[in-house]
Amino acid sequence: MIAIATVPAEGSALHDANASRVEPNEVDPAVLAAARRGSRDAFVELFRFYDRRLRHVAWQVLGDRQQMEEVLQEAALRAFRGLPSFRAESGAGTWLCRGAYSTCVDHVRRRPRDVAVADGALWETLGPTSAMRP
């Protein structure tokens, strides 16, 4: 079990010492380090910290709540497996969002294309010169 750091009271010496250490939009470095070492609890906290950003990315690509949930589960699994190789060249949130975006794009590429063809309407649209006419 990992100890989750609490935010010290504003104005305290500890608060002043830590004020510049953690960006408000980045997860606590101790949580990230624990997750990189394989702590599942820390990884869950890491993923929850960026939950809104990840959902926003997935929604923008997929536009479907059920697919979004499924793809974010897959993205979480990929991120957990890849976290030990995270090089920290960018922030953890950026890395997770990029992974979620890639997982969404992979999902879109894999799903069958929905083409509405009613009574040969597609062939009528293509015209009589189409070499693909049945």
Query: Do the beta carbons of residue 2 and residue 46 sit within 8 Å?
Result: no
> Residue 11, CB half-sphere, CA atoms under 13 Å: how many?
0
Would you state the pLDDT for residue 124? 53
User: How high is the pLDDT of residue 130?
Assistant: 46
Residue 3 counted as domain residue: no
With bands split at pLDDT 50, 70 and 90, how would you rate the model's confidence at 114? low
pLDDT tens-digit series, residues 49-80: 999 999 999 999 999 999 999 999 999 999 99
- Counted domains in the chain: 1
Mean pLDDT within 81-103? 91
User: For the domain that residue 65 is a member of, what is the CATH number?
Assistant: 1.10.1740.10
Q: How far apart are CA 122 and CA 116, in angstroms?
A: 8
How many beta carbons lie within 10 A of that of residue 60, not counting itself? 11
Are the CB atoms for 132 and 126 separated by under 8 Å? yes
Q: Look at residue 72 and tell me if it is in a domain.
A: yes
Give a yes or no: residue 123 inside a domain. no
Q: Residue 50: inside a domain, yes or no? A: yes
Q: Which pTM value belongs to this model?
A: 0.65
Residue-number span of the structural domain to which 74 is assigned: 13-111
